[in-house]
Chain A
């Protein structure tokens, strides 16, 4: 079963990676447009003669924005679109493990977004001469991987459960888009929030991940001081992944009763 899941995941990730990266102009656009948005913040900090740390905080947060939008638009809504094209019934009738399909969507999306996020990060660091603690790159990479694990596992939960929203799914995505980015503190540290809000936002993988990477790369703190972030992301990832595997089964069982696996224009 594990082998089947990974084989299906590989095939589904292939669709994303091969399809999206076939046209190099997509990559350029995907890096250039976010760069403009982040640059606006960085120019403001520069104009105010803000210290380097301000710029580094915004650059790291800005580079991570793409992941959240990818989770919303290419994970959460994906099964809805798959149903519209007729792929979802074929997935299910093929007997292939749906967990593998979700995992493949997540791996493909995470890979594509990582290339773009790195492009954005390198461009901002170079263009704005931002200083970061490169000796912390390895522990920061570990935080990054754990963040993606937790974030895309959350995306898998969304994908399994968002079928019920039908066409209003775009509104749900809009509703979740900006607020989560705000509470994740993409352009500012979440420590500015009152303590209770900080506790609440720590269930958002993006918020934890960005905070962890900043502690390492911007402030040069040793990894042991943020051990709780490593652990929290790992636990969140495992919990979300487990919920996703249960939700996808539930979605199929419920869909077979209600007819929503094949219902279109809902």
Chain B
């Protein structure tokens, strides 16, 4: 079977709030399928439905050919979930004891569970903290443990819900490497990854669905999505802090297709990312900044990324 997940006009409402709106996606076997969208866009809701934890308000969904409404016990044999913002397990138990506990839930025998846990601890280089209590490990170690817990049952479909949220660059890279090597090892493995980090989506995903306010805006390969903005020029200007009214003024400059800004409170630097068809409006932007006495720290021309695609398709920034 080549389609691991298929949704048909899938919708979910919470009262008057629309969390998912007529979602139609197909995820193929052995691909890393990304759901890219800001917080509250419906990514986690979709995962909860596919992981048989939530029923849709309308529409249908099939995982490995099984209907999520009727055949949920069948589906549960083949899935697992890793959510970056959760702290599953028991702090009073050691890391390896927690893994053994979950191995029992996933159907292993008592001794078999210890065997697989010890193998995974070795494979993932967790010997240093396997004997530490879970409430004594760092966030990076915890996320490593959580990832290993997620693959304990060798799932055919692994849901990764923001797996690197809150982690530093080094650990995030390590987790991403685990993800890549795990899926490569078996052609029957498939991953549905939600993220609002464009680097993660760009590096990992074979195909990406851009989701906004519960609606799928576009599904394509990363390469094809980037082509959407390939004719545009993208500039990044770093300045000292700029207030919102100045940003609004810059947005009005003719020729600017889209723009978003980010303030870094730690450094006091504002990053402005601008998408333009021609390069000339950038001179106008610099003039406005000069008039307002705002010092430009850096100006660079950038390669387009998925954040720009999101900006181009949705009109607002990803985060």
Contacts and interface: CB of A to CB of B under 8 A. Distances in A.
Interface of A: 4, 7-8, 10-12, 14-15, 18-20, 22, 85-87, 89-96, 256-257, 259, 261-262
A129 B287 CA distance: 94
A256 B83 contact: no
A228 B306 CA distance: 73
Interface residues of B, number: 32
Contact of A19 (B73, B80, B93): B93
Give the interface centre of B90, B104, B110 by most chain A CB atoms within 10 Å. Answer: B104
Contacts of A92: 52-53, 76
Contacts of A262: 48, 53-54
B53 A7 contact: no
Nearest to B93: A19
B67 to A, nearest CB: 14
B14 A11 contact: no
A93 B93 contact: no
A117 B312 CA distance: 67
A177 B48 CA distance: 36
A11 B112 CA distance: 13
Nearest to B79: A93
Interface of B: 14, 48, 51-55, 73, 76-77, 79-81, 83, 86-90, 92-93, 97, 100-102, 104-107, 109-110, 153
Contacts of B97: 14-15, 18
A10 B113 CA distance: 13
Contact of B104 (A11, A18, A95): A11
Given A11-B104, A15-B101, A261 B76 contact: no
Give the interface centre of A8, A11, A95 by most chain B CB atoms within 10 Å. Answer: A95
7 contacts: A18-B97, A94-B102, A94-B153, A95-B76, A95-B77, A256-B55, A259-B54
Contacts of B73: 95
Given A11-B101, A15-B101, A259-B14, A93 B51 contact: yes
A45 B73 CA distance: 58
B93 A15 contact: yes
Contact of B87 (A85, A89, A94, A95): A85
A11 B105 contact: yes
A252 to B, nearest CB: 9
Contacts of B109: 7
Chain A residues touching B, majority SS:
helix
A262 B52 CA distance: 11
Given A8-B105, A18-B97, A94-B106, A89 B53 contact: yes
Contacts of A10: 104, 110
A258 B185 CA distance: 38
A42 to B, nearest CB: 33
Nearest to B80: A93
A94 B48 contact: no
Contacts of B77: 95
A218 B97 CA distance: 43
A19 B81 CA distance: 25
Contacts of B86: 85-86
Contacts of B107: 4, 95-96
Nearest to A12: B101
A90 B92 contact: no
B162 to A, nearest CB: 12
Contacts of B93: 15, 18-19
A20 B97 CA distance: 14
Contacts of A261: 53-54
In order of increasing CB-CB distance, the 10 nearest A-B pairs are: A86-B86, A95-B76, A11-B104, A19-B92, A96-B105, A94-B105, A86-B88, A256-B55, A93-B51, A87-B88
Given A90-B102, A259-B48, A262-B54, 8 more contacts: A8-B105, A12-B101, A14-B101, A85-B87, A86-B86, A86-B87, A93-B51, A95-B107
Nearest to A9: B104
Contact of A15 (B76, B79, B83, B90): B90
